[in-house]
């Protein structure tokens, strides 16, 4: 059943990883964060599927991942108390991330650390990644998969948060109830905005 009115959405399983990684890699090819981490577009195109496969696997185990029935839009969420990695977890994940990012590893870690430092202290669902295949944009698919996670946050009675480095995303997330809390930079260069959406009563 759909999570809300609009395109049908389902919760992902491990078998959805390859498709989710492919969709997200295409959606984020020109994203400011990805350009910061992997500046060379050819290298970025080659490395991103593996990077998003790692993100999918991690978030599936620590939260929830949602996908439209047609597989064209995906969101990766981290549950309250599960956002970010402890240092032991980061050390265990380092070999896989080193293989995935190559010489971009230090920039990836810099962004990850800055993201962790700019999340709210209160329990929350964290929208880690949201993307739609470029060929399927404009059909409401991205909005549907974001709403699926927001419904989970509302059931838990906690806010949802995210960050974006793409100013074009601010209006989209604002229309879903998020508001900018503050802005910050990574290494004094990459500008990002943190956004928060309070929990809403069921059905609101």
- Please check the confidence at residue 73 and state whether its pLDDT lies above 80: yes
| Domain assignment present for 170 | yes
Encode 123-191 in three state secondary structure: CCEEEEEEEECHHHCCCCHHHHHHHHHHHHHHHHCCCEEEEECCCCHHHHHHCCCCEEEEEEEECCCEE
Report yes or no: 171 and 160 within 8 Å, Cβ to Cβ: no
123: nearest Cα among 161, 163, 88, 85 = 161
Among candidates 52, 81, 59, which has minimal Cα distance to 12?
59
Sign of the alpha-carbon dihedral angle for 72, 202, 126, 183: positive
pLDDT at 87 (0 to 100): 65
For the segment 79-121, what is each residue's pLDDT rounded down to a tens digit? 998 666 666 777 787 889 899 999 999 999 999 999 999 999 9
Alpha carbon 97 to chain centroid, angstroms: 17
**Alpha carbon distance 112, 141 (integer Å):** 27
Report yes or no on 29 lying in a domain: yes
Tracing tokens 């029935």 back to the chain, one arrives at: 69
Q: What is the pLDDT of residue 59?
A: 95
Which pLDDT value is given to residue 85? 64
Please give the residue range of the domain that contains residue 92. 9-197
Is 14 a member of any domain?
yes
Average pLDDT, rounded, for the chain: 92
Decide if 2 is inside a domain. no
Going by their DSSP bridges, the two strands 190-197 and 179-186 should be labelled as antiparallel
204 located within any domain: no
Contacts by residues 12-16 (CB-CB < 8 Å, ≥ 24 positions apart): 12/56, 12/60, 12/64, 12/65, 12/66, 12/67, 12/74, 13/60, 14/57, 14/60, 16/56, 16/65, 16/67, 16/71
Structurally, how many domains does the chain consist of? Answer: 1
Task: State how far the Cα of 72 lies from the Cα of 75, in Å rounded to an integer.
Answer: 11
pTM for the whole structure: 0.91
Residue 16 belongs to some domain of the structure? yes
Question: Which domain CATH number covers 153?
Answer: 3.40.630.30
In a domain, 71, yes or no: yes
Distances (CA, A) of 44 to 72, 79, 173, 187: 21, 28, 26, 20
Contact (CB, 8 A) for 25 and 52 = yes
Tens-digit pLDDT profile for residues 177-203: 999 999 999 999 999 999 999 999 864
């Amino acid at each position: 059943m759909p999570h809300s009115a609009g395109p049908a959405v389902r919760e992902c399983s491990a078998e959805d990883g390859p498709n989710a990684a492919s969709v997200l890699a295409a959606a984020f090819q020109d994203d400011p964060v990805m350009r910061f981490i992997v500046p060379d577009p050819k290298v970025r195109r080659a490395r991103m599927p593996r990077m998003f496969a790692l993100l999918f696997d991690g978030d599936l185990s620590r939260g929830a991942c949602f996908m439209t029935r047609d597989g064209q839009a995906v969101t990766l969420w981290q549950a309250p108390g599960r956002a970010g990695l402890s240092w032991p977890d980061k050390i265990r994940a380092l070999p896989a991330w080193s293989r995935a990012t190559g010489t971009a590893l230090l920039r990836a870690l810099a962004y990850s650390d800055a993201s962790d430092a700019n999340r709210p202290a209160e329990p929350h669902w964290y929208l880690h990644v949201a993307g739609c295949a470029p060929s399927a944009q404009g059909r409401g698919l991205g909005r549907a998969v974001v709403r699926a996670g927001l419904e989970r946050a509302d059931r838990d009675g906690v806010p949802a948060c995210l960050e974006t480095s793409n100013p074009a995303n601010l209006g989209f997330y604002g229309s879903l109830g998020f508001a900018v809390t503050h802005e910050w930079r990574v290494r004094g260069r990459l500008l990002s905005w943190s956004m928060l959406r309070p929990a809403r009563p069921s059905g609101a």
